[in-house]
Each structure stands twice: as C-alpha cells, then as structure tokens.
Amino acid sequence: MRIVALLLAALCLPAAAQEKSGAEVYEATCIQCHGDGKDGAPVFGNRKQWGKLVKEGLNELVPTALAGIRKMPARGGNPALSDGEVARAVIHMANAGGGRFPEPSPDDINRWRQKADKRLRK
C-alpha cells in the first residue's frame, strides 16, 4: 500500500507543482486589466463591483473566464494557462472582492471546462 501511495505521489506531484497559484496568475496576467479596471474589468479588491459576481458564483464566473465575454479575452488572453490556473485566479480575485471560495477540486475544474466548451460552440 505504501509503495502504491509513493508511486502515486511521484506521478502527481511534478504536475501539481508546476501549476501556478491564483495569486501568481493574477499578478502575471489578470492584473493588466483587473488592476485598474481597463475596458470596464471589475477592479481587484473592489467589493462593490465583485459583490454581484460573487453572488453569481464560480459556476458562472469560471466558465466565463475560460471562454471569454465581450472585452474579457478567453483565459485572460493567455492560452498557456491551464483550466485550474484560470479557476484559481478567478477564486483569488473573487475572494479579494468578498467571496469565500475554497480551492477547486478536479471535478469542479472539469465541470467548468465543459460549461465553457458549450459556450464556445454557440
């Protein structure tokens, strides 16, 4: 049993370690517009602007961030970001705006990806 667990850890850890945190993704990409509200982007830490979005919840926000909406480019315009990295960046911003969302599970991320794919096909 212990060997299996070690093998699993060895397989999973490198991939997980390369994933950027929500804060890192925000600082590298999202801040370009969400730092000062360029093109009407909801401003980081502005609870008034984020309050409505936080109520909509992650099932709305993450697929929107993955697929893009109006002047918000898909994945914040950075196609190199993984689904999980985009999701964690959304959570980082939503929580700075008054949300209390936990770290996403792999199931959450898959569900959000599928929802975004449906929107992209429209």
Can you give the binding site for ligand HEC, defined by CB under 6 A? 25, 29-30, 32-34, 38-42, 53, 60-61, 64-65, 69-73, 75-77, 81, 86, 89-90
* 103 contacts: CB under 8 Å, gap ≥ 6: 88, 91
Return the structure tokens found at 45.
């830490």
- Residues 76 and 122: their CA atoms lie apart, in Å, by 20
Angle of CA points 72, 19, 98, to nearest 5°: 55
Q: How far is the CB of 114 from ligand HEC (least distance, A)?
A: 17
Q: Residue 64 or residue 96: which is nearer to ligand HEC going by CB?
A: 64
**Separation between Cα atoms, residue 55 and residue 41, nearest integer Å:** 17
Tokens of 88: 């964690």
| C-beta of 72 vs 96, nearer to ligand HEC | 72
CB of 9 to ligand HEC, least distance (A): 29
Minimum CB separation from ligand HEC for residue 57, in Å?
10
Given the complex with ligand HEC, which of 9 and 45 has the nearer CB atom?
45
Amino acid at 62: V
Least distance to ligand HEC, CB of residue 68, Å: 8
